[in-house]
Amino acid sequence: MTNEISSNKKIITNSLSNRFRRSIIWLYIATVIVSIPTVYFLTKYQVYSEANKELSLLVDMVASVREYIAQDVRKDLLDAKLFQSPAISSTVTTSLVANHFLKKQPDYYIKVASDNPLNKMNAPEPLETQFLTQYRADKELKQITQIGEIKGKNFLVSSRPSIAHQECMICHGEPTEAPAPITNKYGTTKGYNYKLNSVVGTMGVGVPLADINTIALQRGMVAVAFITLIFGLIFIIINTLVKKSILEPITGITQAAVALSKGNLDQEINVKQDGSEISELANSFELLRRSLKWTLDQPKE
């Protein structure tokens, strides 16, 4: 009988423990499954958010340089007929400023591109040609911001159209009418015959876009490791607490119920009386056992 009771106790304990462990494991798996896409989308949002913030600052900086040349410098230079000065052209000034900036921050991108440039260095990349096509197709389009590849690198790029204004026509109109310092420096084959108010180029800036998949994988691994650690600690702590406060008392009650069903009224139910529902249930079973035993022990008349 003792061996049978011990065997029943072991079976009951193992069954409850296994169910508890399986519940924890499934909860862990579900948490990992949910956390991986969550980490990916949060990473993607963060990368784009940081890139957009940097891009906005860079766009404003370049726009400020061009506005400074157009509004504060160019008129005086034109009045003085100083056409050879690089400050007469916002494109040239932007390129010079960009060169100095990119020496310090080579991962970024700043360029004023044109498919009919005076300076061949301003010839467009494929992405810039795409922007030019879009601006010319839609005259109301004032800015394009998108992810693009330039020279094999991914950027979050913001582009704005370059419009041929009246003052631009002095140097970019008919080559025969262009100032001598311009034609002497750049020749007369490219960069001329602009049409007033037409889109002649694109001013683009870009910030490097980190590899989202790589960052997400790294953060995902950290998240999974952290979740595993937390669940491991939770499993150990709860397993110990549950085993002592729930599994063992329930096993004792179940064992006593099995014994009672087989007519064994001598097996006491010893559960710590802590006021919990389980201790009250154990106490009720113990009272039932004592009542049955007392009743059966009474002499028959």
255 and 206 within one domain: no
pLDDT at 233: 84
* 135, 141 Cβ separation under 8 angstroms: yes
199 and 100 within one domain: yes
Tokens read off for 54:
């940097």
Among 210, 226, 247, give the residue marking a domain's end: 210
* 200, 163 Cβ separation under 8 angstroms: yes
| 173 Cβ neighbours under 8 A, 6+ residues apart | 192, 193, 194
237 and 197 within one domain: no
Q: Is residue 56 part of a domain?
A: no
CATH for 191: 3.30.450
Q: Is residue 33 part of a domain?
A: yes
235 and 186 within one domain: no
Separation between Cα atoms, residue 205 and residue 156, nearest integer Å: 8
Q: Is residue 35 part of a domain?
A: yes
Separation between Cα atoms, residue 188 and residue 185, nearest integer Å: 9
Nearest to 92 by CA among 71, 115, 74: 74
Domain count, the chain: 2
**Reported pTM:** 0.60
Q: Is residue 45 part of a domain?
A: no
Q: Is residue 58 part of a domain?
A: no
171 and 99 within one domain: yes
189 and 220 within one domain: no
Separation between Cα atoms, residue 199 and residue 143, nearest integer Å: 13
Q: Is residue 50 part of a domain?
A: no
Taking only the tens place, the pLDDT of each residue in 12-54 is 455 666 777 778 788 888 888 888 888 888 877 887 888 788 8
Taking only the tens place, the pLDDT of each residue in 119-142 is 888 899 999 999 999 999 998 999
138 and 185 within one domain: yes
Nearest to 195 by CA among 124, 109, 239, 136: 136
136 and 228 within one domain: no
pLDDT at 154: 87
Chain centre distance of CA 237: 33
Among 164, 194, 210, give the residue marking a domain's end: 210
33 and 135 within one domain: no
191 and 88 within one domain: yes
Q: Is residue 31 part of a domain?
A: yes
Query: Residue 194's domain spans which residues?
Result: 81-210
223 and 192 within one domain: no
Among 170, 193, 210, give the residue marking a domain's end: 210
pLDDT at 274: 60
Tokens read off for 224:
């999974």
pLDDT at 238: 73
| Residues with pLDDT less than 70, the chain | 1-17, 85, 211-213, 242-243, 245-247, 265, 269-276, 297-301
197 and 85 within one domain: yes
> What is the β-pairing status of strands 153-163 and 144-150?
antiparallel
CA distances from 142 to 95, 122, 157, 195, 273 (A): 21, 20, 14, 18, 77
Q: Is residue 64 part of a domain?
A: no
What count of Cα atoms within 13 Å lies in the side-chain half-sphere of residue 179? 17
